[in-house]
């Protein structure tokens, strides 16, 4: 499992990196958003532990999380920040964060939250993995032509266009869910759509 730590305080980043490596995670460290974006593009981490206040600004972590989600990043995002106001927590979670840990925190709690987020999401895998209905996973891999593999988001495929409709909480979303699912909820609607796209039926899942 690969983790990216985005933290500009060396005194905190050092112990966190050492802790994660001791637990056998692959760890990258960036101290600004430019480095973080480059790492995500190249390595597609399973989790990002993201400081909110970075050299680019006091909301730079929030801005980075928003940009990553809009760009198709599907890994977990754990915010690390001294900003403990309820409105900050709600804002961070609403724009795409999966958890929010207020500084100062214990290393034990940090590690426990990392484990929980990774258990929840699981590692990204190749398209047509047997772990998902209809062989669907959040990311896919394609050959680079030189013997390696390059991972890319499923949202880049044409069939992803239905997802905003299914994900929407608007009044029209229920009819969209029913179109692809025997039960009107988001998860089964998307699985139903993917089964149609793959030429399979609910009875053969």
pLDDT tens for each residue of 51-103: 999 999 999 999 999 999 999 999 999 999 999 999 999 999 999 999 999 99
- In the prediction, which pLDDT does 15 show? 95
Region 161-180: mean pLDDT is 43
Evaluate the CA torsion angle 44, 73, 27, 120 in order and state its sign: negative
CA gap 137, 181 in Å, rounded? 19
The band of 120, judged by pLDDT with boundaries at 50, 70 and 90, is confident
Q: Output the pLDDT for position 167.
A: 43
Query: Quick one: pLDDT at residue 178?
Result: 47
Confidence of residue 160 (pLDDT cuts 50, 70, 90): very low
DSSP, collapsed to helix, strand or coil, labels residue 81 as: strand
Mean pLDDT of all residues in 169-177: 43
CA distance 104 to 80: 9
Q: What is the mean pLDDT of residues 150-161?
A: 46
> For residue 104, is the peptide bond before it cis, meaning its omega torsion is within 30 degrees of 0?
yes
CB neighbour list of residue 106: distance below 8 Å, 6 or more residues apart: none
Distance CA 73, CA 199 (A): 27
Q: What does the pLDDT average to over 176-185?
A: 46
pLDDT tens figures, 4-62: 999 999 999 999 999 999 999 999 999 999 999 999 999 999 999 999 999 999 999 99
Strand duo 47-51 + 76-81: pairing: parallel
Q: State the residue for tokens 């896919």.
A: 140
Q: Which domains does the chain have, with CATH numbers?
A: 2-121 (3.40.50.2300), 133-204 (no CATH)
pLDDT band of 122, cuts 50, 70, 90: very low
**Do 160 and 154 form a contact (C-beta atoms < 8 A)?**
yes
Give yes or no for residue 166 having a pLDDT over 60. Answer: no
Higher pLDDT, 196 or 81: 81
Looking at every residue in the chain, the average pLDDT score rounds to 74
Is a pLDDT exceeding 80 seen at residue 174?
A: no
State pTM to two decimals: 0.60
What's the pLDDT at 173?
Answer: 41
Kindly indicate the confidence band of residue 153, based on its pLDDT and cuts at 50, 70 and 90.
low
Other CB atoms within 10 Å distance of the CB of residue 182: 9
> What are the DSSP E strand ranges found in 59-98?
76-81
């Amino acid at each position: 499992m690969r983790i990216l730590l985005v933290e500009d305080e060396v005194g905190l980043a050092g112990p966190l990196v050492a802790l994660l490596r001791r637990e056998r995670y692959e760890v990258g460290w960036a101290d600004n958003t430019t480095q973080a974006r480059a790492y995500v593009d190249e390595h597609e981490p399973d989790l990002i532990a993201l400081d909110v206040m970075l050299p680019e600004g006091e909301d730079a972590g929030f801005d980075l999380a928003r940009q990553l989600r809009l760009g198709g990043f599907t890994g977990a995002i754990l915010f690390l920040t001294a900003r403990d106001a309820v409105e900050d927590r709600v804002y961070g979670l609403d724009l795409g964060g999966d958890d929010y840990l207020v500084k100062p925190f214990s290393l034990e709690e940090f590690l426990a939250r990392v484990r929980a987020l990774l258990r929840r999401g699981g590692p990204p895998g190749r398209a047509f993995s047997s772990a998902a209905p209809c062989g669907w996973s959040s990311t896919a891999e394609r050959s680079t032509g030189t013997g390696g593999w390059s991972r890319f988001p499923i949202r880049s495929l044409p069939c992803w266009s239905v997802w905003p409709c299914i994900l929407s909480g608007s009044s029209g979303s229920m009819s969209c869910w029913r179109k692809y699912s025997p039960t009107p909820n988001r998860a089964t609607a998307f699985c139903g759509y993917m089964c149609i796209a793959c030429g399979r039926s609910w009875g053969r899942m």
